[in-house]
A and B are shown apart, each in its own frame.
Chain A
């Protein structure tokens, strides 16, 4: 068995059945081995960046390892944005690239790049294989490492000659990454019971730990008012009466108010990102903090924790739930206060009753949320539409909401939707995108067509880079700079060129029919939705400002432009 064949054998052993890749010179031995392998489905994307983002979407939707493959040089460099995206959101991913033959490394050979060197900052770990006999151990370790503790991408760069070399048979190592045992939670429970206004603050770490069910049980048992980060959306479920939704820069007034007023912040699986906290000095100023996470490096990184607890979230949540089941928290007044805030300061958008009125993003997303099946996966891109989805789509599970949180990668949505559809062929998968983001990976329409994936594509088209335009309007005295996209192609014609049917809508009375049509269609379909160029995402916190200083539509330009953004 040569190196390439061994890689496929490792895929089988670890039940890796779907990989996303693009062939080229130095990875050809692996592609040659794929010819004889019927157990691994290789998805040919049309750009290596899309391979990585599709693997990312596959991993987010399924909870499994995402795998992407590319050749050396430009193949590897094209992967980088997608791998960085996975790194910033701690997505388990295995990246395999071919490298120029061992003897040519360092000679500026054709399609040679120092992949190991240039990717150090965007991987959990990486390997440059220098001996074919080490490949089996590296594969085992990489696959385990990518999924252990705080997950992340692990990259294996393999010279072409080693892919062709025979690999010595030897017993495979069984790498183990021991998770910490459940720590003593006595102090945490004491702090919880002492608090009058405790608030649950959760993020993407819940899903990364596969702890969604435990978290939901804990939230229900504790009846703690809860806020979530962008990546935590879907937790603790849309029916939880104390779920205040997303906090932060585009969070709800209710969520940010609760953070502002709470006296204890119970942070679970979140890293206190600046888009969530705003200016740290003004964040939860009256609260003690309990920080629970799988990664000790997150403790005290941005905000000092009064109590930091590292451990397996499933075990911790189970123990906390058990303790609160026998003796519930007495926080009725606080719960009632938060519910009142949620009623008056939750995300709101009026459904425009005027049939001929132009479509607004929030109203469209609300209708989509009502019409789409409950277990629909929505893969967003980055920009205003992403925030409208986060604010107005009612998710009931975090794996239903795929969004590029840490890196904010325009072009994520379409390949991520492809990955999600491969993770579950029977599921409704919708890519909600903007006209800017859509054009960043539009070539993947060809992948949708090739595999006849029933992905639904919704392009909210405001003919500009809306989020940049909004910030230029609010924080740069309305000095628009290079955001105009009014020369966009005809997206309906473009979809049809890929043999994907498409519709155009632009009036409120067309929303329902448009959504129902694409959902009912048995195959991929694109819905082009014309929206106003001037629509903004409300509320907004100026970058660098405190969340207390939220700006909404009534306070817009008069206050926003008073000082230049940092």
Chain B
């Protein structure tokens, strides 16, 4: 039996600044999930009236699509893609 090939899942870092409001993080996470990404790591810091969120994401869809969806959120001030993170692998 031939062993299954390991297909690396692309991984990305993404930094997001958004207003502090009720359900801010839920709103962000909901978009990340429905647009096809998994949160591998998440760090949140308060910066005055804003939240600075650093995300490490895994997913096979184009990350630019997620970025443009996050930028549409009314309370998101800025989204920046970081340098690609180390890719993880999963079985096909």
Contacts and interface: CB of A to CB of B under 8 A. Distances in A.
Nearest to A124: B74
A300 B67 CA distance: 12
Interface residues of B, number: 17
A117 B27 CA distance: 8
Interface in A91-143: 116-117, 120-121, 124-128, 130
A126 B65 CA distance: 22
A296 interface: yes
A117 B65 contact: no
A297 interface: yes
Nearest to B69: A297
A297 B74 CA distance: 14
Contacts of A127: 21-22
A300 B64 contact: yes
Interface in B56-88: 62, 64-65, 68-69, 71-75
Contact of B27 (A120, A295, A296, A301): A120
A121 B30 contact: yes
> Mostly helix, strand, loop or mixed at chain B's interface?
helix
B73 to A, nearest CB: 8
Contact of B22 (A116, A121, A297, A299): A116
Interface residues of A, number: 17
A551 interface: no
A117 B23 CA distance: 7
A128 B69 contact: no
Contacts of B23: 116-117, 120, 126, 128
Nearest to B33: A121
B72 A295 contact: yes
A145 interface: yes
A130 B22 contact: yes
B65 A300 contact: yes
B30 A297 contact: no
A336 B22 CA distance: 58
Contacts of A300: 62, 64-65
Given A121-B34, A125-B74, A145-B74, A297 B26 contact: no
Contacts of A297: 65, 68-69, 71-72
B26 to A, nearest CB: 6
Nearest to A154: B74
Contacts of A120: 23, 26-27, 30
Interface in B23-66: 23, 26-27, 30, 34, 62, 64-65
- A130, A296, A297, A301: which has the most chain B beta carbons within 10 Å? A297
- B22, B30, B65, B73: which has the most chain A beta carbons within 10 Å? B22
Given A130-B22, A297-B68, A300-B62, 20 more contacts: A116-B23, A117-B23, A117-B26, A120-B26, A120-B30, A121-B30, A121-B34, A125-B73, A125-B75, A126-B23, A127-B21, A127-B22, A128-B23, A145-B74, A296-B68, A296-B71, A297-B69, A297-B71, A299-B68, A300-B65
29 contacts: A116-B22, A117-B23, A117-B26, A120-B23, A120-B26, A120-B27, A120-B30, A121-B30, A121-B34, A124-B74, A125-B75, A126-B23, A127-B21, A127-B22, A128-B22, A128-B23, A130-B22, A145-B74, A295-B72, A296-B68, A296-B71, A297-B65, A297-B68, A297-B69, A297-B71, A297-B72, A299-B68, A300-B64, A300-B65
Interface of A: 116-117, 120-121, 124-128, 130, 145, 295-297, 299-301
